[in-house]
Amino acid sequence: MNKKKNSLFAHLISLAVQTIRAKLALLILFSSVFAILAFATYFSFLEMNGFRQVNLLDFEVGKVAERDVTTSREISFVDENATRIRREARQKLITAVFRYDNALSASMQNNFSSFALFLTQSFNEYRQFDQFMLNLQQEYPGILEQKEAKKLFSAQNRDDVLLTARSLFKQLVNEGVTAFPDAGMERFNELEVEVVRSRNDRVERQEVPIKTLLTRDGLRSYVVKSLSLMQKKTELADLIMPLFLPFVSENLVYQADESEAKLEAAIRQVQPVLVVLQKGQKIIKRGFIITDESFRQLHALANSGVYIDIRQFSGSLLFLLLTIFLSFYMFFTALPQELAEFRTIVLLCVFFSLNYLIVLIAGRIHFFSLPLDMVMIIPSAMIAMLVTILINQRVAVLFSVILACGSLIASNFTLAPALFSLFSGISGIAVMRVSGKRIDLVKSACILAVLNPLLVVFLSVVFPSSSRDAWTPVFGSSINGFMSGIFVLGFLPIIESLLNTSSSFRLMEFSDLNSPIMKKMLLSVSGTYNHSIMVATLAESACREIGADPLIARVGAYYHDIGKMDQSEYFVENQTDYNKHLDINPRLSATVIRSHVKQGIEKARQLRLPREIIDIISEHHGNSLITYFYNEAKKLDDSVDPEDFTYPGNPPKTKESAVVMLADVVEAACRTLDKPSVPRLEKFIGELISQKINAHQLDSSELTFRDIGIITRTFVNILAGYYHSRIEYPNQKDPDAQEQKIKDLIGKGKRNE
């Protein structure tokens, strides 16, 4: 039991590995498409509120806004203007620093005390003013003018003046004298200053009104006021002031560095004004004038930096992945036969990526920012028309649904562009007429130029305010519809050539009997040429009756025997009077006959014929037996291997290929039929087709018994008309009988001689 389980498990693993290998190219393709689109989607979400969505050049204060701007997330930013006002207010509250100079104050006090003591001694020593003045100038030259010195010397209360002066000077020094700088205090408090004093190793800071500070200009007022408080005569100020001025210095000094440091520290502590914009907040309203505040908010939005909404981005990627899986299921489950080739899948992936990227980029451009504005450049109609021509209509309809899903994701789940993509694509499919005439593309373009605007009008009613104005998307969609047909007309030959597709337009070009290869067949292998034309007539008519593609059948029939061109004399339809097979053995004859299939495939690839035509060339004999030469070989050797006399191809896999096989064998065999009446043709053709059925040549072609009956009747009708009986005219003579009569007469004459 364990061995059976292990064997089953190994078989499943082997089957899974084989499946992965078989689909490896598809897996790589879809993974690459998803990676590219995911990468593009990431960059579209990145800086969604940055300059990629908001261009400040589009907005100006005082102008009317042309569109709304809404935040997609919560954004906080510093209001620089409000923060600047707060900082300026804080600056005006910071007091400048003035520091009291103790050393200078002590020096000022000592100097003035010495001077006052000198005057007292001089007053006592000298009775004459001249001697007093000379002594004063000797000790303190130029400190007092003679007039001031004489007035003091003559004063009766000069001792009291000196005593009062010493007291006032001490008081003045303790109070402090300051000087304000010419510049540097503009940013500080204009009403108060900070005075710093050091007393007993302790620093005292006190904010005092700036008007209470004593300056040299205010000394006289200070002295007068102090004398008044001391209940002394204010006239003493005239005697005291000359004594003060030489010894007064600014001992309350402005500290520029300390004041600036204090100011900067205070500014750093100022908290910026933080403004919070809530998610979904509309900061710019369409039709309203842009204010300074809204422009500041817009500026903050534009400079909000790198950001990506992980939730929304993840959702978009998830839906993109689901869309790819949906397309995989729809195409590879519902339509495996149409999409069997890798090149077709690559083409659809390119088309999907192109549509997705165009919608994705358009949504990030200002001009296409509104949903209906971007319909002007959505290429869904053009893509749907191309898929209709290159593959078929059914695939095009399913692919339009996939394109609409992609447009929905790329437009950030906006419904209007997705609906336009869907209905515009289906409209392109509906108006497309695949008849092989390129003028039909121009007609389809003109019809789309009318249908697309009607679709936009309908969407604008369902989704109001979805466009910049009413007429731009209408006219743009009309141009889109017309140019879709024109672009299809221009791109189609390029895509057909690159992918070597079997579109009706390309097949019509290959069906031209005036092409160089067909002219060469007419001149070099006229029998094969006429045979191919007849086979094409039979196959095309039969395919039209059973619902297969008559154009593929016709072109396949034209080219199914091009391999006979190199050795045309070995094929009976090209032989005139001598059969070369009489000179070689049956095995070699079979080899020559078999080779025309391989040579036909090589020529078809050189001509870059579509795969469907090459398949018809390789399958028009299937793997059937070359009966005539096989029987001839058996006469010589009973042990001959049938494989040596079998065509190297495979049985037909499509209806068109099977019909060409039947038309080929019927047309060739009916040439040997004597007096081909309708009953004889019907019986003969039925037998030929039955032989192919019994040889299992039609097992993979999907032909039904009903189809075979229709094919038989079609062949009989065409060949009966082709081989119809003619009236024998009275004077008409058989050239072979006349020639035989002449020979008999000549022979009789010789015998008589």
pLDDT digits (tens, 9 = 90+) for 447-474: 888 888 898 888 888 888 777 777 888 8
Predicted confidence (pLDDT) per residue in 217-244, tens digit: 888 888 888 888 887 777 788 888 888 8
- pLDDT category at 50 given cuts 50, 70, 90 is very low
Is there a contact between 233 and 160 (Cβ–Cβ < 8 Å)? no
- Among the residue ranges 257-266, 317-326, 628-637, 642-651, the one predicted with the least confidence is 628-637
DSSP, residue by residue, 256-287: HHHHHHHHHHHHHTSPP-EEEEPTT-EEE-TT
Residue type, 533: I
Digit-coded pLDDT (tens) for 590-634: 777 777 778 888 888 888 888 888 888 888 888 887 777 777 777
What is d(CA 273, CA 81) in angstroms, rounded to the nearest whole number? Answer: 9
Element (H, E) at 213: none
Mean pLDDT of the chain: 79
Compute and round to an integer the Cα radius of gyration of the chain. Answer: 55
pLDDT at residue 215 tops 60: yes
Q: Is 566 helix (H, G, I), strand (E, B) or coil?
A: coil
DSSP 250: -
Q: Name residues whose C-beta falls within 8 Å of residue 151's C-beta, 6 or more positions apart in sequence.
A: 238, 239
Least confident interval from 283-287, 334-338, 547-551, 644-648: 334-338
In the three-class reduction of DSSP (H, G, I as helix; E, B as strand; rest coil), residue 296 is classed as helix
Least confident of 110-124, 490-504, 675-689: 490-504
What's the CA gap between 8 and 16, in Å, rounded? Answer: 12
Give the span between the Cα atoms of 314 and 748, in whole angstroms: 105
Q: pTM (2 decimals)? A: 0.61
Can you tell me the distance from the alpha carbon of 250 to that of 214, in angstroms, rounded to the nearest whole number?
9
Burial of residue 297 (CB within 10 Å: 0-12, 13-18, 19+) is: buried
Structure tokens at 498: 């690159």
**C-alpha separations of 565 from 292, 524, 528, 616, 621 in Å:** 85, 7, 8, 17, 17
Report residue 166's pLDDT band, with 50, 70 and 90 as the boundaries. confident
Rounded CA separation 231/193 (Å): 31
